C-alpha cells in the first residue's frame, strides 16, 4: 500500500529522502520556497512540487496536506519545521515528522512531541553520533546496519590482498573460517553482486556479512582483522556531532580529545564537556596532529564542516596507521573520492537521517498494509536490505524449507531473528510465524515477504 507524503524542504536531507521515497513509488510532493530547488528535484525524481512557504495553510492545502498520510518537515530551521508540523496536524495530516537539530531542544523532545502531536522528532547530529558510536564499539567493521532492535547486524569489510578470503569460493567459506556467517553483498568497484555459492572473492572487494556478534568476532579473528576495543578517540572539529559522540564515549570510559579551530567554540566545549580534552588548533597542520598524539590514539573521527578537510585529514590518519579512521562526508558527489582515497569508513548525516525517516514511512506503511519493519539502502542505493515481520501463517512461506522456495532473481535471505536467537539460514531452515526475516536484494519496491517469490 502506497503512502501519500508531503516533504517540506528540498535541502541535503530532503533531497536524499525524496530520492528514496520516489524509488519506493510513494505519492510524494515536495514543498520548498526556492523554485529552482523544486524544478531540479521534480526533474530528477518522480515527485510533485509546490513552490511556497510550507508553514502556511494555503501552501499546505495546495500540496494536499489535509489528505496526506505523512508530512515530513526538514528545512534548515527547527522552528519552521515545528510550525509546519503543527499546521499539518490541524489540517488533518495523520502523521508528522520534524527535523530538529538544536541541542537545547534535545532535553524537551518528549514535551515537544506531546504538545505538538508529532509522530517523530529526528536530530541528524544525534543519529549520526549514534551511528559513529556503533562503529567505534566494533572497530573491525567498515559500517554496520542493525535489525531487530540491534540483535542482528549486517557488517561491512574490505577484503585485503593477503586475506584468506581473497580467491575464496563462497561455498568453501564455512570450513575455511569456522564461523556461522553469510556474505550477502559484494561490491567490486562500480559493480554490486548478490553472490551465490560459486562466487569467488577478490582482494579489494567490499563485502557485507550477516552474523551474530559472537560469530562476527570469531570471523574477524580468523581473518586477523579483529581490532582491539577503542580506548581513546581524537575528533577533528567541535561540531554538534562531536558533542553528542563525546557524551556517549565518555559515559563508557573512553578518552576523548577534540581539536577545534574556532577559539570561542573550543571554550564552549570545555564548559560542556569537562571530562574531555579540548584543543584549540588547526588540525590541517600536521605538526598539531603529531603534537596531540595522533600516533598513539585508537581512532580518529573527522567532523569538520568541510568534506574535503575531513577526507584529507582522514587520509593522513590512515597513513599514520591509526587503527580506526572515520570521515564525515555529506556530499554524494564525493563518495567516489572516499573510495579512491582508500578510506574504509565514512558516514553521511544526510543518508543516515533520510534512512531513519524512510524507516518511519515503512512503519506507517505497516499500519496500512505492508510488513516491512526496517530498510537500508546500501552500496549507493543499488542494494536494499529489508527486515520483514512474519505476522501471518502464509502456507507459501511459513514452514517451507528455504531450498524449496522459488525466489526471484537477485534475492537472498540473509538472516532470521527468532526471539533472541539469530539464525544464519541454510537450505533446511524454515521461516516461522513471529520471525523477523532480513532480505537483501537489488530489486526495489518489496512491500511484503511474499514479494520475494516468483
Q: Which of the four pLDDT bands, split at 50, 70 and 90, describes residue 340?
A: low
Distance CA 444, CA 19 (A): 12
Distance CA 378, CA 187 (A): 10
Report the range of poorest mean pLDDT among 31-40, 87-96, 200-209, 360-369. 360-369
Residue 257 has pLDDT above 80, yes or no: yes
The residue-averaged pLDDT of 338-345 equals 74
Q: Which of the four pLDDT bands, split at 50, 70 and 90, describes residue 343?
A: confident
Q: Would you state the pLDDT for residue 227?
A: 77
Range(s) of the domain holding residue 375: 364-452
What CATH number is associated with residue 203?
3.30.70.1450
What CATH number is associated with residue 280?
3.40.50.720
In a domain, residue 267? The reply is: yes
Q: Are residues 375 and 421 in the same domain?
A: yes
Condensed to tens digits (0 to 9), the pLDDT of residues 124-168 reads: 999 999 999 988 988 888 888 877 666 777 888 888 888 888 888
Single residue among 223, 244, 269 that ends a domain in this structure:
223
Q: Are residues 136 and 112 in the same domain?
A: no
Going by C-alpha positions, the residue among 301, 243, 300, 289 that lies closest to residue 269 is 243
Q: Are residues 368 and 444 in the same domain?
A: yes
Q: Are residues 163 and 107 in the same domain?
A: no
Q: Would you state the pLDDT for residue 339?
A: 67
Distance CA 74, CA 8 (A): 6
Number of CB atoms found within 10 A of residue 80's CB:
20
Q: Environment class of residue 28 by beta-carbon count within 10 Å: exposed (0-12), middle (13-18) or buried (19+)?
A: buried
Q: Which of the four pLDDT bands, split at 50, 70 and 90, describes residue 380?
A: low
Q: Would you state the pLDDT for residue 289?
A: 96
Q: Are residues 118 and 133 in the same domain?
A: no
DSSP string for residues in 144-197: EEEEGGGTEEEEEEEPPTT-TTTT-BGGGHHHHH-S--EEEEEEETTEEE---T
Angle between helices 240-251 and 263-272 (to 10 degrees): 30
Q: Which residue has the cell 590482498?
A: 161
Residue 320 has pLDDT above 90, yes or no: yes
CB 38 within 8 A of CB 50: yes
Residue 106 has pLDDT above 80, yes or no: no
Single residue among 122, 147, 164 that ends a domain in this structure:
122
Q: Which of the four pLDDT bands, split at 50, 70 and 90, describes residue 38?
A: very high
Q: Would you state the pLDDT for residue 371?
A: 65
Condensed to tens digits (0 to 9), the pLDDT of residues 356-370 reads: 888 778 777 655 545
Q: Would you state the pLDDT for residue 443?
A: 79
Side-chain half-sphere exposure of 208, counting CA atoms within 13 A? 29
CB 423 within 8 A of CB 416: yes
Q: Are residues 318 and 398 in the same domain?
A: no
Q: Would you state the pLDDT for residue 370?
A: 53
Q: Is the dihedral of CA 445, 447, 452, 454 positive or negative?
A: negative
Look at the chain and report how many structural domains it folds into. Answer: 4
Single residue among 95, 122, 149 that ends a domain in this structure:
122
Q: Which of the four pLDDT bands, split at 50, 70 and 90, describes residue 390?
A: confident
Condensed to tens digits (0 to 9), the pLDDT of residues 222-249 reads: 877 777 789 999 999 999 999 999 999 9
Q: Would you state the pLDDT for residue 389?
A: 82
Q: Which of the four pLDDT bands, split at 50, 70 and 90, describes residue 197?
A: confident
Q: Are residues 97 and 135 in the same domain?
A: no
Condensed to tens digits (0 to 9), the pLDDT of residues 300-312 reads: 999 999 999 999 9
Amino acid at each position: 500500500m502506497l503512502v501519500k507524503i508531503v516533504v517540506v524542504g528540498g535541502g541535503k536531507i530532503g533531497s536524499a529522502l525524496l530520492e528514496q521515497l520516489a524509488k519506493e513509488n510513494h505519492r510524494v510532493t515536495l514543498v520548498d520556497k526556492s523554485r529552482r530547488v523544486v524544478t531540479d528535484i521534480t526533474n530528477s525524481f518522480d515527485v510533485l512540487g509546490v513552490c511556497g512557504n510550507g508553514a502556511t495553510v494555503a501552501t499546505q492545502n495546495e500540496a494536499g496536506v489535509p489528505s496526506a498520510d505523512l508530512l515530513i518537515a526538514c528545512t534548515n530551521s527547527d522552528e519552521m519545521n515545528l510550525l509546519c508540523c503543527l499546521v499539518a496536524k490541524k489540517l488533518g495530516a495523520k502523521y508528522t515528522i520534524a527535523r530538529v537539530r538544536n541541542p537545547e531542544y534535545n532535553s524537551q523532545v518528549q514535551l515537544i512531541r506531546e504538545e505538538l502531536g508529532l509522530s517523530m522528532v529526528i536530530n541528524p547530529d544525534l543519529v549520526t553520533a549514534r551511528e559513529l558510536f556503533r562503529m567505534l564499539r566494533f572497530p573491525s567493521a567498515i559500517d554496520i546496519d542493525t535489525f531487530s532492535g540491534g540483535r542482528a547486524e549486517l557488517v561491512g569489510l574490505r577484503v585485503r590482498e593477503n586475506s584468506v578470503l581473497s580467491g575464496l569460493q563462497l561455498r568453501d567459506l564455512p570450513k575455511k573460517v569456522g564461523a556461522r556467517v553469510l556474505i550477502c553483498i559484494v561490491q567490486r568497484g562500480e559493480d554490486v553482486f548478490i553472490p551465490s555459492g560459486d562466487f569467488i572473492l577478490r582482494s579489494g572487494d567490499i563485502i557485507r556479512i550477516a552474523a551474530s556478534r559472537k560469530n562476527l568476532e570469531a570471523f574477524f579473528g580468523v581473518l586477523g582483522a579483529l581490532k582491539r576495543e577503542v580506548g581513546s578517540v581524537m575528533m577533528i572539529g567541535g561540531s554538534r556531532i562531536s558533542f553528542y559522540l563525546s557524551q556517549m564515549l565518555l559515559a563508557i570510559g573512553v578518552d576523548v580529545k577534540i581539536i577545534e579551530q574556532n577559539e570561542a567554540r573550543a571554550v564552549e566545549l570545555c564548559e560542556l564537556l569537562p571530562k574531555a580534552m579540548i584543543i584549540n588548533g588547526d588540525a590541517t597542520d600536521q605538526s598539531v596532529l603529531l603534537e596531540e598524539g595522533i600516533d598513539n590514539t585508537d581512532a580518529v573521527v573527522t567532523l569538520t564542516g568541510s568534506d574535503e578537510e575531513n577526507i584529507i585529514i582522514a587520509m593522513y590518519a590512515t597513513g599514520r596507521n591509526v587503527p580506526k579512521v572515520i570521515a564525515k562526508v555529506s556530499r554524494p558527489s564525493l563518495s567516489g573520492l572516499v573510495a579512491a582515497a582508500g578510506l574504509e569508513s565514512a558516514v553521511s548525516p544526510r543518508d543516515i537521517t533520510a534512512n531513519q525517516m524512510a524507516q518511519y514511512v515503512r512503519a506507517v506503511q505497516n499500519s496500512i498494509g505492508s510488513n516491512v519493519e526496517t530498510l537500508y539502502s546500501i552500496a549507493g542505493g543499488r542494494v536494499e536490505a529489508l527486515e520483514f515481520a512474519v505476522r501471518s501463517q502464509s502456507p507459501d512461506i511459513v514452514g517451507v524449507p528455504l531450498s524449496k522456495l522459488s525466489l526471484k532473481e537477485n534475492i537472498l535471505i540473509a538472516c532470521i531473528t527468532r526471539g533472541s536467537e539469530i539464525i544464519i539460514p541454510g537450505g533446511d531452515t524454515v521461516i516461522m510465524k513471529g520471525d523477523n526475516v532480513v532480505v537483501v536484494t537489488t530489486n526495489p519496491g518489496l512491500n511484503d515477504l511474499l514479494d520475494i517469490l516468483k
